[in-house]
Structures are given as C-alpha cells and as structure tokens.
Amino acid sequence: MNTALPDPREVYRAVIVEDEDRSRKLLEIMLGKYCPQVKIVGVADTLETAVIIISSLQPDVVFLDIELPDGSGFKVLDQLLHLSFSVIFVTAYEHYALRALKRSALDYLLKPLDIDDLVAAVKKLPPLGTVKKHLEGQNMILNSYINGAPRDQYIMALPTLDGLIFIHDEEVIACRSDSNYTHLTLTNNRKFLVSRTLNDIEEMLSEDLFCRVHHSHIVNLKHIRRYFKGKGGYLEMSDGSTVEVSFRKKHDFLARFA
C-alpha cells in the first residue's frame, strides 16, 4: 500500500457532508493522517445544514455523501451553483449514480474508504485559486442521467490536456486507445485526446449504442456505414475512416445485427 504523504505546500479548506458518525470520523482521521494539505473547517449531516455551512465557509473542497437523510447529495450542488469548489463524492455501494459520476469527471470514493483511493483523489485536486470545477456543467450531467433523461440527451465530461470537453454520446464516432489516453473521433471533423483509458471510456458509454470491436477500438453502431469481411474484417465509419475488427471480437460484433 502506497501511503506516501502528498505535497503539503497547499492547504485546502474542506467540509465533510456525511450523516454516519462512524464514516465521518474515519474520514477525518484518514485526512488528518495521510492528507496534511487538507484542513477540515466544517462538517454537516443533512442537506439543509450542508447548504448553510458550505455557503458560510466557502471551502475549497467538499467531501459529499450521495445519500443524506433529507435528500440526495446532488441537491446540495443544485443550491450552490453560484459557488466554486471541488467535489469528491462518497457512497456506500456501487449503484446507478456511479456511472453518472464517471461521465461527469467528478471524483468519488467507495465505502469502506481506501487510503490509496483517498490520497489519489486529493492529489487530483486543482491548484488553489486557478481551476474551477465547472460545477454547473457537471451537475447538469448528473441530473440528466439520474433523472432518466432520454439517451440521446446524455452528456459526459472528459478531461483533455487543457480542460474539459462536454459531449453527447451520439457525437462520438469512434474511440481509439493510446496507452493511458484515448483518441476520440467526433462528428463535424472534431478530434480530441482525452486523459482516460479506453476501458474508462467504455464504462461511460451506452452499451446499446457502442461496441468494442477490438482491444484498441470502440465504435458507435449508428455511425457504421459498411462492414468488410476478413479474418476479423474492418468497418467504414460515417466520416470515411476505417476501424479494424479483431477476430476475437468479430462474433460478438456481428451478433449485434442478428
């Protein structure tokens, strides 16, 4: 286990929003021991008190439990869009919200809390006073997904080298792996290199709309124009590009059209 102390040069003022005493105290202990650049300035155990405390203290980061006694943690953000702070969500189990969190580029921690995951999340916090977390756009993603928006209205936020891009599923033509990065080919001749692995991207995309046709390629089924036979074969996409289909993925791919 990597328990190396993170860079302590910056001190982030933090608020913890957690209704379970044991979980809150454990998070406080772990932050105090392994994340010296985080200073806890306030705690809250309900949606109502969270809004009051965050508005009053204006912290740099909020550790926010998804499920609170008087409502969803997402509603806290709804009422605080005028403020700028980083958010690290905390949840007790893997459920529907996690896919939305991945699509929104917000960080999250699963209970029981893991030290390495906590340290990694804190290390990813933006430098103080320099980066805004785009809360309004990210909260829009969370709400659209969790409240059951039509699939063609789903949005995801993906980190690039100079910020975030916000895109709809239907805009994605194909994705290609490049080590820890992914090349996205979008409609209207747009291309981006995003700081996510292809496996990460696959988890965000709609299973009904996308197919992994190669260990290095994912395609949007609606953007396929032709399939050419071969050992695995290859695809011609709507933008004129071609994508290889691996022999191992060929059967599963063709089964999507059976």
Q: Give the mean model confidence (pLDDT) for residues 18-37.
A: 96
Instruction: Evaluate whether residue 1 is within a structural domain.
Output: no
Percent of the chain with pLDDT over 70: 81
Average pLDDT over residues 188-192: 97
Last residue of a domain, one of 96, 123, 143: 143
* Helix (H), strand (E) counts: the chain: 8, 17
Domain count of the fold of the chain: 2
Query: Amino acid letter at 210?
Result: F
Residues 62 and 127 in one domain: yes
- The residue from 143, 165, 188 where one domain ends is 143
Asked which of 143, 168, 196 is the last residue of a domain, the reply is: 143
Is the domain of 135 the same as that of 218?
no
Q: What would the mean pLDDT of 31-43 be, rounded to a whole number? A: 97
Q: What is the pLDDT of residue 6?
A: 44
List strand residue ranges (DSSP E) for 132-231, in order: 155-160, 163-168, 172-178, 181-186, 190-194, 210-214, 217-220, 224-228
Residues 198, 249 within the same domain: yes
Query: Are 121 and 81 within one domain?
Result: yes
What is the DSSP code (8-state) at residue 11? -
Provide the domain limits for residue 200.
152-255
CATH classification of the domain holding 49 = 3.40.50.2300
Give yes or no: residues 54 and 103 share one domain: yes
Q: Which amino acid, one-letter code, is at 182? A: T
Q: What are the two backbone dihedrals, phi and then psi, of residue 113, each rounded to the nearest 5 degrees?
A: -65, 140
Residue 3 lies in a domain: no
Query: Has residue 253 got a pLDDT over 60?
Result: yes
Q: Are residues 139 and 249 in the same domain?
A: no
Residues 251 and 158 in one domain: yes
Same domain, residue pair 17 and 82: yes
Same domain, 39 and 69: yes
Highest mean pLDDT: which range of 72-81, 107-116, 169-178:
169-178
For residue 111, being part of any structural domain is answered with yes
Q: Does one domain contain both 133 and 213?
A: no
CB 179 within 8 A of CB 220: no
Do 44 and 72 have their domain in common? yes
What amino acid is encoded at 71 in this protein? G
Q: Would 166 be classed as within a structural domain?
A: yes
CA proximity to 91, closest of 65, 113, 69, 115? 65
Full-model pTM: 0.64
Lowest mean pLDDT among 59-68, 111-120, 139-148, 150-159: 139-148
pLDDT at 5: 47
Pairing assessment for the beta strands 67-68 and 71-72 based on DSSP bridges: antiparallel
3-state SS string for 104-149: HCCEEEECCCCHHHHHHHHHCCCCCCCCCCCHHHHHHHHHHHHCCC
**CATH code where residue 248 lies:** 2.40.50.1020
Question: CA nearest 177: which of 204, 199, 208, 203?
Answer: 199
What residue type is 78 in one-letter code? D
How many other CB atoms sit within 10 Å of the CB of residue 65?
Answer: 26
Q: What is the mean pLDDT of the chain?
A: 86
**What is the rounded CA–CA span in Å between residue 197 and residue 219?**
15
Span 40-88, pLDDT tens digits: 999 999 999 999 999 999 999 999 998 899 988 878 887 887 777 888 9
* DSSP 8-state assignment for residue 67: E
